[in-house]
Amino acid sequence: MYFHSLTIDLDGTLLDTVPDLAEAARRTLLELNEPPRSVTEINHFVGRGIAKLVERCLTRDAPPTAARLAAAVKVFQRHYSEVNGRHTRIYPGVLEGLAAWRASGIPMGVVTNKAAMFTGPLLERMGLAAYFDCVVSGDTTAYKKPHPEPLLHVCRQFGTAPARHLHIGDSKHDIEAARAAGCAIYCVPYGYNEGEAVDAADCDALVSDLLAAYRLALTHPDLETK
């Protein structure tokens, strides 16, 4: 196979986590005496980590102060730790795709903007942790996606040249991170992407699921053999 390593986004690519995030947001806003947000709104707020999600939940006429946001994030974290994985579901094609990728023998990782305190427990709870050799959360490196550092960090861990690394995600942040890192990028159409549809023209391929991504990767020409 042309690719020597693989990373996959978590929220919106491997797992539909919005039901849990929405419940944590509901509890948080109720505790803070703030108006509720709809599940659709939460869907559009996901993608840049918990702090940004909470900030968007609180922003009405103006964004919250730094102190207000920090306090609200702690409330959200408390509630999210209670519901993390309770209503989350694995997207169709994920288990089949992970099995195919694992059988290929290349190392696999998760790259997410979710904090490590939630990422590890969620992967364990959903039975996915054993598939991955590396997990990069939103606080693993100094930067989150769309910065390239999380992907470059994985490439260094795996000893892979970025050009031989494939990332699979659902959003413009995944695309921007992969492009900046010099990695290939496949996107799935069913994720969140802050309410914006992923454009097939912006990524190397738009695939229906992880199994389709594996099958497509097998057809990628290995230039070293030509």
Radius of gyration of the chain measured on its C-alpha atoms:
18
Catalytic pick from 9, 170, 204, 209? 9
DSSP string, 112-163: -SS-HHHHHHHHHHTT-GGG-SEEE-TTTSS--TTSSHHHHHHHHHHT--GG
What is d(CA 211, CA 183) in angstroms, rounded to the nearest whole number?
Answer: 20
Active site residue 199: no
Decide: 152 and 141 in contact? Cβ < 8 Å: no
Longest dimension (CA), the chain: 64
Q: Which tokens is 52 given? A: 């940004």
Distance CA 85, CA 8 (A): 18
Residues recognised as catalytic: 9
